[in-house]
Structure 1
Amino acid sequence: MDQIYALAADPTAWVALATLVIMEVVLGIDNLIFISILTNKLPAHQQAKARRIGIGLALVLRLGLLGTIAIIVQLTEPLFTAFGHGFSWRDLILIAGGLFLVWKATKEIHHNVDPDPGPDMFEGQKAGMTFGAAIVQILLLDLVFSIDSIITAVGMTDHVPIMVIAVVVAVAVMLLAADPLARFIQANPTVVMLALGFLMMIGMTLIAEGFGAHVPKGYIYAAMAFSALIEALNMLSRRAQRKR
């Protein structure tokens, strides 16, 4: 408790907390987009429940990983060297998560562009997403984003209470934004394609970082913000045309 009181009286700790909260919220956007797109494929009565479970798992994973910070730090130690780069467990997890995101985004884009399952499917049979499959996929990506989130937090502060508060606040923001974001994505098909493009870009960024090529996050989020602005202008233009 004395440590918490000391941190509460330290202005530097408040600055670190505010910075880390913003960083965790920004990093959580990727996770939230994936959860929204995935849960929108479920029946309507299961979507909100799946989102709550997915975000709850993200919180559990992050807090659990905070309890094993010593192990998390060791995940950055090289295991082997290939192509002149020392690969750590973190690198391998980022590469695997990036490949999964690219595969998933490509599959969803194909489904949106060509929803016809093809002649190999029985007539009337529709490929869908089960509740269990959605939770498993969310859990896998939660793990990837959680490890990246905790390593980022460790690099910004040494105080575990600050990390815990930042993680809880970020996940609370995700929880509040999950349903409105999912409804917005579902109501605007063009936004779905844009979000899938974001996921593919994020996946490629994770793969690049796994291979040792650092990609500044500011460039990624600036590109995403610009694309979102252009899509918002297109939506306003379409709305004005419908009114006319």
Structure 2
Amino acid sequence: MELLLNPDAWIALLTLTFLEIILGIDNIVFLSIVSGKLRAEDQPKARRIGLLLAMAFRIVLLFGITWVLSLQKTLFPIDLGFFSAKVTGQSLIIFAGGLFLLYKSVSEIHHKMEGEEDSEKGKASNSLSSAIVQIAVLNLVFSFDSILTAVGLISMKSPAEGGFGPDGAIAIMILAIIISIAIMMIFAGPVSKFVNEHPTIQILGLSFLILIGVMLIAEGSHLAHFRFGNDTEVGTIPKGYLYFSIFFSLFVEFLNLRMKKSKKPVQLHNNKIMDNKLKDTDVTN
């Protein structure tokens, strides 16, 4: 009750909720592109499972925050003279997540621009279970990044020291996660529909995922203290610059879409397959 009556707690909750939604944009883009390859009846299920997994991972990691913070300890040092590093569990997870995101994004761009025909192999790779595994892997990485950002913003000091206390801080973070995921669930369907109906938005989204992959690799390298020579240490890419470029690019594309409403959009490989399936179904019926 004391926490509910604290205006600073409400400000922290609103700030953290907004931050979780912003950090969840890349998650929704990935969900939209992966679920867009599934059958129409499986797409909402994949999005719901993906977002529920995101919420579950974040809450579980919050309750295990001591373990998460322990991942910052050095696992093993590397010293080759011209290159040195202090590899941690946290840096390994984030670095591997960045590599996975780069691989997945480039593969999706290749498939959409020069993709294979709709073979039995292609159908197997587009199964619901395959999509959920990919979503779960990426959700785990995004959850680490999200939780560490949240912990950096919300003070766990006691109220006497100007904080909310450990219990209060975790309660605020859990509430912010639940609210942000609920909001994303409401908008995930319309966003996915819009993304999958506009090929340029799909390619932009995949390009954003490449940027985020590079950011995660840089962040993992920084956390591992990658150092080349005596003075050059790998730094991080500020998230503000990245998200500004994403929103600016989307704004420009929305202007382009409004100006070219009458023109028929280019059909990407995956979209052509879906259109052919719909036509075949109509003919059969």
The TM-score, its normalising length taken from structure 1, stands at 0.91
**Same amino acid, percent of matched pairs:** 42
SS in 2 for 1:208: helix
The answer as to 2:226 corresponding to 1:216 is no
1:159-174 alignment, distance < 5 Å = 159-174=169-184
Superposed CA deviations along residues 131-172 of structure 1, whole A, max 9, x for unmatched, are 110000000011001111111111111211101111111111
Which residue pairs with 1:100 in the alignment?
100
Aligned length: 233
* Larger RCO (alpha carbons 8 Å, 6+ apart): 1
Q: Give the gaps of 5 or more residues in structure 1.
A: 118-122
Counterpart selection for 2:16 from 14, 20, 27: 20
| Alpha-carbon distance, 1:77 to partner | 2.2
After superposition, the Cα gap between the structure-2 partners of 1:241 and 1:56, relative to the gap in structure 1 and judged at 3 Å, is: closer
Query: Are 2:116 and 2:122, in contact at CA under 8 Å, matched by a contact in 1?
Result: no
The answer as to 2:86 corresponding to 1:78 is no
| Alpha-carbon distance, 1:86 to partner | 2.2
The TM-score, its normalising length taken from structure 2, stands at 0.78
| Alpha-carbon distance, 1:85 to partner | 3.3
Which residue pairs with 1:135 in the alignment?
132
Q: Give the gaps of 5 or more residues in structure 2.
A: 157-168, 223-234, 265-285
Q: Which has the larger radius of gyration?
A: 2
After superposition, the Cα gap between the structure-2 partners of 1:161 and 1:130, relative to the gap in structure 1 and judged at 3 Å, is: same
| Alpha-carbon distance, 1:115 to partner | 2.0
After superposition, the Cα gap between the structure-2 partners of 1:124 and 1:217, relative to the gap in structure 1 and judged at 3 Å, is: closer
Counterpart selection for 1:32 from 23, 28, 32: 28
> Whose helix proportion is higher, 1 or 2?
1
| Alpha-carbon distance, 1:233 to partner | 1.5
How far apart in 1 are the matches of 2:119 and 2:211?
34
How far apart in 1 are the matches of 2:253 and 2:93?
32
How far apart in 1 are the matches of 2:97 and 2:89?
12
The answer as to 2:203 corresponding to 1:190 is no
How far apart in 1 are the matches of 2:59 and 2:12?
18
Q: After the TM superposition, list the runs of 4 or more consecutive aligned residues in structure 1 that deviate by more than 4 angstroms.
A: 123-126
Which residue pairs with 1:55 in the alignment?
51
Superposed CA deviations along residues 68-90 of structure 1, whole A, max 9, x for unmatched, are 11111112222223333322211
What one-letter code is carried by the residue in structure 1 that aligns with 2:219?
E
How far apart in 2 are the matches of 1:233 and 1:30?
21
| Alpha-carbon distance, 1:62 to partner | 1.0
After superposition, the Cα gap between the structure-2 partners of 1:134 and 1:6, relative to the gap in structure 1 and judged at 3 Å, is: same
| Alpha-carbon distance, 1:126 to partner | 5.6
1:110-149 alignment, distance < 5 Å = 110-117=110-117, 125=120, 127-128=122-123, 129-149=126-146
Q: Compute the RMSD of aligned alpha carbons.
A: 1.6
What one-letter code is carried by the residue in structure 1 that aligns with 2:101?
L
| Alpha-carbon distance, 1:124 to partner | 5.1
